[in-house]
Amino acid sequence: MIEKIKENINHPEKLERLYHDDRKSFESSFEKVFSEIENSEIAKFWKIRLDFDKTPDKMKRPSSDISIMVAVCLLAGFLIKIPDIFKIDLTKYLFYEKDAGIIVFFGLTLYAIWINKNFNQKRLVIILLTFIVSIIYINLLPSDKTSDSINLAYIHMPLLMWCTYGLVFIDFNLKDRSKRIEYIKHNGDLAILGAIVLIAGGVLTGITIGLFNAININIQNFYMNNVVITGLVAAPIVVTYIIKNYTTMTNKIAPVIANIFSPLVLLTLIIYLVAIAISGKDPYNDRNFL
């Protein structure tokens, strides 16, 4: 391969063919021979091209990033396990309905603070107070699933937390439109990759429980109550880490999934709107339907 690169250094088409025929061999051989051909403009181009591919995703990740990600996941996992730790009766107290969304966005917000290196004390106090007030408010509400107003509070509290997370993500810069657009894009990537991670987790759960059942060991309750619940709140944080550190992969996967499902979602909504018109349901006058 080294000799072929030397022979074809002035023939870009042949170099491209060599690269596609055996990428690994081409990359390793090019590194070895570069010192002999570095004066060639084409060689300089290939050096930049190959190094650029390695820089963002293949270089060693800072251990601090992984450590912080794992620490935030463990914190979120601990918080979601509060009912088990403190023996809370979930039939009388709706812990997950009240606090699950807050815990997820609290973890995401903490990780976003680390990513942005946003350690401004005033902003940290604002963020902390927002979460504390929200937690106190939502937990003072009665645990009544039959109350529409309380159910609406359960629904809208995660939306408030989503806005708080957004403020941290854009570094409190509400005037920068590009950052707001970037946050919307980030949410799309988070949803798509999160769905893939959850599907993979679901498959792993089924395989794990099935394997243990095959040897007459029932781990379903333990696995669901510990691993699955912790994994659900940790998944968005892990996906955020993937989006941040593996942008090349994210930029390839997310658009493909979006292009596949966008027409399907549009078609589904059109059919649904037609079905609403035929059924005579009116969301403006029928509160239960809304």
- Percent of the chain whose pLDDT exceeds 90: 22
How does pLDDT run across 235-278, given as a tens digit for each residue? 999 999 888 887 767 767 767 777 777 788 788 889 888 887 88
Contacts of 183 (CB under 8 A, 6+ apart): 166, 169, 170
Distance CA 231, CA 148 (A): 30
Q: Are residues 170 and 204 in the same domain?
A: yes
Q: Are residues 116 and 168 in the same domain?
A: yes
Domain boundaries, position 35: 2-58
Distance CA 176, CA 169 (A): 12
Distance CA 3, CA 33 (A): 9
Q: Are residues 153 and 41 in the same domain?
A: no
Quote the number of domains for the chain.
Answer: 3
Q: Which of 97, 96, 83, 233 is nearest to 154 (CA)?
A: 97
Q: Are residues 254 and 288 in the same domain?
A: yes
Q: How confident is the model at residue 53 (pLDDT cuts 50, 70, 90)?
A: low
Q: What is the pTM of this model?
A: 0.69
By the 8 A CB rule, do 27 and 1 touch? no
Mean pLDDT (the chain, rounded): 84
Burial label for 193, CB within 10 Å (0-12, 13-18, 19+), is: buried
What is the radius of gyration, based on Cα positions, of the chain? 26
Q: Is the pLDDT of residue 61 over 70?
A: no
Q: Are residues 239 and 255 in the same domain?
A: no
Q: Are residues 220 and 262 in the same domain?
A: no
Q: Are residues 181 and 104 in the same domain?
A: yes
Q: Are residues 119 and 241 in the same domain?
A: yes
Distance CA 55, CA 193 (A): 22
